[in-house]
Amino acid sequence: MFINFWYPVIRSQDLGATPQRVRILAHDFVVFRDAAGKPAVLSDTCVHRGGSLSGGKCKEDGTVQCPYHGWRFDRDGHCTRIPSLGIQARIPSRARVDAYPVEERYGIVHAFLGDLPEAERPPIMPIFEANDPNWRSHVISFEVPFHYERSIENGLDPAHNEYVHTTHGFQGERESEYKVNELVPEQNNPWGYGFMHTYDAPPLTKSVLRFSRRKAGKMQAGSGTYGPNQMWTYIHITETKAMHQYLFEAPIDETTTRVFLVSFRNIVFFKSGLRAKLNPWLDRKITERNLFVAGQDITVVSRVQPKLTPSSKARELMMPADKVISQYREKLDEFERKGWRIDMTRLKQDMARGDVIYAIPSPGRRESKSWVLESVPLLPASGPGSASETGKVTQLASV
Ligand code: FES
Ligand SMILES: [Fe+2]
């Protein structure tokens, strides 16, 4: 799991007047709306004596109030009130919690969980259809019982559709004709790779989309990533009818992932003279279909071993159809070399002791070194110019 990326926190429609606790990257956060209704995301651990801020209240001054002794924190993480000191008290500068950059976009509250300055941050995945009136979208979220890297790799895998999804393939019944066709690069970007490919698809006899393509035939589909946890999937049912799905994944911990799926479609139906894409009933039907397809993935992927992707490439036998999965892993290695991967071995050891709690570092840590909670342990950077790389060169030179 990595710091320094945008993570989905909660659907906009699910965040009301009370603070909520959300677990991401094996850490707890509080998300709440300030006095102006803008979402804020802070480390959930109160720096006084460890109260859980999300168990408190939103106050009219836009702060969140700790349920234990009433300290208040604003959206920037600064403590604004310590009741035990009285109303005129001076607040010590260390009385602050990590506060994270927040963007509310595509119906989701996203938080940047890391300390990079704004100009260096990887992007929230772009959605090109977001303001296009010919497309309609809705957003759902659900949990899957596996590591987010396994989840993303499953989405980047063109060879599983034939076997796992009755809506996309023939369950391997066409042995002489079936193979995965060429993967054509699509939306390669500094943070990830993608592909499109053409495949033979069965007729959509049972699907809610059956009227969009009744016969078996060629379809195009593909997917790609922006960072470790954001993935697009395009399904082109015909040349003009398509579903574009955008997945923003929040690793809760190493074994559970919360998926936020923003599902776009340009499929237009005519019903009583109305463009039925404006009818909400289809959102529900599409959601049922998406959850049905996700359930087929969950059945298979929850039994994949090992639970985490193996650290050695030699422990799996990748094929050309797995090319984009390999490219995804290369990107993860690149992010690790930047020093952004959480040291899970140490984190788990320390958490098991029960006397330490860490915080994901926020941009505020670049301005001040004086923090109550320690920053989460990270694997050392090894890119050019990094401390560990310089150390390696020195070591080699002295051999
Ligand atoms: S623990 Fe939060 S106010 Fe005391
Ligand atoms: Fe799948």
Closest ligand 1 atom number to CA of residue 50: 1
Q: How far is the CA of 290 from the centre of ligand 2 (A)?
A: 10
Pick the ligand that lies closest to the CA of residue 299: 2
Q: Is the CB of 66 under 6 A from ligand 1?
A: yes
pLDDT above 70 covers what percent of the chain? 88
Using most ligand atoms within 8 A of CB, pick from 52, 53, 68 the residue to mutate for ligand 1: 68
**What mean pLDDT do residues 114-122 have?**
98
Whether residues 145 and 99 fall in one domain: no
- Which of 63, 69, 73, 84 best tests ligand 1's pocket when mutated (most atoms within 8 Å of CB)? 69
| Residue 67, preceding peptide bond in cis (omega within 30° of 0) | no
Asked whether residue 183 is domain-assigned, the answer is: yes
Confidence of residue 390 (pLDDT cuts 50, 70, 90): very low
Q: Would residue 131 count as lying in a domain? A: no
CA neighbor of 25 nearest in space, from 43, 37, 38: 43
Q: 9 CA to middle of ligand 2, Å?
A: 23
pLDDT digits (tens, 9 = 90+) for 317-357: 999 999 999 999 999 999 999 999 999 999 999 999 999 99
Measuring from atom 3 of ligand 1, which residue has the nearest CA? 69
Same domain flag for 325 and 343: no
Residue-averaged pLDDT of the chain: 90
Distance between CA atoms of residues 117 and 84, nearest Å:
35
Q: Is residue 81 assigned to a domain?
A: yes
Most ligand 1 atoms within 8 A of CB, residue of 42, 66, 85, 91 to mutate: 66
In tens, the pLDDT along 241-293 reads 899 999 999 999 999 999 999 999 887 665 544 455 556 778 888 899 899 99
Domain termination residue (choose one: 284, 316, 332): 332
Give the nearest ligand 1 atom to 70 CA.
Answer: 3
Q: Choose the residue to mutate in 28, 42, 45, 46 for probing ligand 1, maximizing ligand atoms within 8 Å of C-beta.
A: 46
Give the pLDDT of residue 279: 63
Q: What is the pLDDT of residue 23?
A: 98
Pseudo-torsion of CA 265, 269, 272, 273, nearest 10°? 90
Tell me: do 231 and 304 sit in the same domain.
yes
Q: For residue 192, how far is its CA from the centre of ligand 2 (angstroms)?
A: 19
Same domain (yes/no): 223, 363: no
Lowest pLDDT segment from 81-90, 158-167, 170-179, 230-239: 170-179
85-112: per-residue pLDDT in tens? 999 889 999 999 999 999 999 999 999 9
Which residues are placed with Cβ below 5 angstroms of ligand 2, an ion?
297
User: Does residue 389 surpass a pLDDT of 60?
Assistant: no
Instruction: For ligand 1, say whether the CB of 46 is within 6 Å of any of its atoms.
Output: yes
For the segment 15-68, what is each residue's pLDDT rounded down to a tens digit?
A: 999 999 999 999 999 999 999 999 999 999 999 999 999 999 999 999 999 999
Same domain, 293 and 397: no
One domain for residues 248 and 311: yes
291 & 360 share domain: no
Q: What does the DSSP 8-state code read for residue 212?
A: G
Domain final position from 290, 306, 332: 332
Question: Considering the domain boundaries, does residue 117 fall inside one?
Answer: yes
Distance 50 CA to ligand 1 centre (A): 6
Q: Which range among 7-16, 65-74, 142-151, 239-248 shows the weakest confidence by mean pLDDT?
A: 239-248
Q: Which residue has the tokens 């802070």?
A: 42
Nearest Cα neighbor of 111 from 39, 59, 19 is 39
Higher pLDDT, residue 52 or 166: 52
Reduce the DSSP state of residue 214 to 3 states and report it: coil
For the chain, the residue count is: 399
Query: Are 96 and 78 in contact, with CB atoms under 8 Å apart?
Result: yes
Domain CATH code at residue 180 = 3.90.380.10
Q: Is the CB of 51 under 6 A from ligand 1?
A: yes
Q: Which structural domain range is residue 94 located in?
A: 1-124+339-399
3-state SS record for 264-333: EECCCCEECCEEHHHCCHHHHHHHHHHHHHHHHHHHHHCCCCCCCCCCCHHHCCCCHHHHHHHHHHHHHH
Q: What is the pLDDT of residue 206?
A: 59
pLDDT of residue 213: 62
Does residue 397 have a pLDDT over 50? no
Ligand 1 atom 4: the closest Cα is on which residue? 69
Is residue 130 situated within a structural domain? no
Here the CATH number for the domain that contains residue 5 is 2.102.10.10
The distance of Cα 258 from the centroid of its chain, to the nearest Å, equals: 8
- What does the pLDDT look like over 202-250, one tens digit per residue? 776 655 566 566 666 788 999 999 999 999 999 998 888 899 999 999 9
- Residue 399: which pLDDT band, with cuts at 50, 70 and 90? very low
Give the per-residue pLDDT at 386: 59
Closest ligand, as measured to the CA of 81: 1
C-alpha 312/C-alpha 303 separation (Å) is 20
Angle at 77 between CA 71 and CA 79, to 5 degrees: 30
Domain match, 274 and 398 both:
no
The verdict on residue 196 lying in a domain is yes
The answer to whether residues 200 and 320 belong to one domain is yes
Are residues 120 and 79 located together in one domain of the fold? yes
Give residue 282's pLDDT: 82
Nearest atom in ligand 1 to the alpha carbon of residue 69 is: 3
Q: Which residue has tokens 């650290």? A: 311
Asked if residue 56 has its Cβ within 6 Å of ligand 1, the reply is no
Evaluate: CB of 55 within 6 angstroms of ligand 1. Answer: no
69 Cβ closer than 6 Å to some ligand 1 atom: yes
**Domain final residue pick, 332, 366, 390:** 332
Q: Which ligand lies nearest the alpha carbon of 49?
A: 1
Task: Clarify whether residues 141 and 120 are in a common domain.
Answer: no
| CB of 49 closer than 6 angstroms to any ligand 1 atom | yes
CA–CA gap between residue 309 and residue 316 (Å, rounded) = 9
Tell me, what's the pLDDT at 388? Answer: 47
How many A from CA of 344 to the centre of ligand 2? 28
**DSSP category for residue 378:** B
Residue 129 domain flag: no
Within a domain: 202: yes
| Ligand 2: centre distance to CA 165 (Å) | 7
Ligand 1 atom closest to Cα of 82? 3
Residue 383 or residue 19, greater confidence: 19
Domain count, the chain: 2
- Distance from C-alpha of 375 to C-alpha of 113, rounded to nearest angstrom: 12
Do residue 249 and residue 272 come from a single domain? yes
